Amino acid sequence: MDINKLTLDEKIGQMLAFAFHGTEYNEQLRILIEEFKIGNIIHFARNIINVEQVKKLNSDIQNHATIPMFISLDHEGGMVRRVMDSITYLPGAMALCATKENIEEITYLANLDLKKCGFNVNHAPVADVNNNPKNPVINSRSYSDDPVIVGRLIKESIRGMDRANMLPTLKHFPGHGDTNVDSHLGLPVVEKTIKGLNTMELAPFKDAIAAGVDGIMVAHILYTQLDDTYPSSLSYNIITKLLKEELGYKGIITTDMEQIFHSRNCFT
């Protein structure tokens, strides 16, 4: 698809991602895909009954799109899974770290099964460092409280996803590990300086960027020392100045869609 041949409305649509209701191609999806030319449809558990159903749904989505779609889901493993049965089970990050299993291989197999279901974007792996025991939402979704270990293991996960031709979305930039608020329910506020972030939260993201990761998700968190007005998901200072300019990231950037949806009482 030649981007220069797209209309302005089509270009805008390609920058947007939407959740939806239902388990089959319906009027809501028709409007989003055929009229608004949305670029990314994200599935939640409510949209998935079983492998055969979601495979047909994703095929119908692509068949009705004039521009090939990103079809995404959050499937980190462990407690955060969307396709529950008939695919390779992917343990959570902390479990994989503890058992020292072949993370690249098991991530490859699980994402290959997702690819066969018609998904091409997985909002994973989690690059957050589990450095706050009061964190209500990350905890075992993180590989470790050591940024060096997290950096090493997310690279293994990304290699597995790349082998399955699944676009990874590393999350949650610039780090969701040191929060004590669930950002699905409220806006976490972090007072860390850039010096503190560089030695902890940002270290795994730097490792992944150096390794060529293709997708990064930005967290819905207010980092007051970087931007005292806008949360990171809406912040020029964090997305453009820090992630793109200072860290040199050139891949796809998405916001933490589920958190913004919930905070605005949308799509629930």
Positions marked catalytic? 184, 256
Residues 130 and 184: their CA atoms lie apart, in Å, by 18
- For the chain, how far is it from start to end, CA to CA, in angstroms? 33
What is the rounded CA–CA span in Å between residue 86 and residue 116?
A: 12
- 116: tokens are 């066969």
Bridge partner list, 216: 170, 253
Query: Please, is 152 exposed, middle or buried when counting C-beta atoms within 10 Å of its C-beta (0-12, 13-18, 19+)?
Result: middle
Q: Are 54 and 38 in contact (CB under 8 A)?
A: no
Maximum CA extent, the chain: 51
Taking the C-alpha atoms of residue 35 and residue 67, their distance in angstroms, rounded to an integer, is 12
User: What DSSP letter does each residue of 206-235 carry, written as one string?
Assistant: HHHHHTT--EEEEP--EETTT-SSS-GGG-
Alpha helices in 31-179 (DSSP H): 51-64, 93-99, 103-116, 147-163
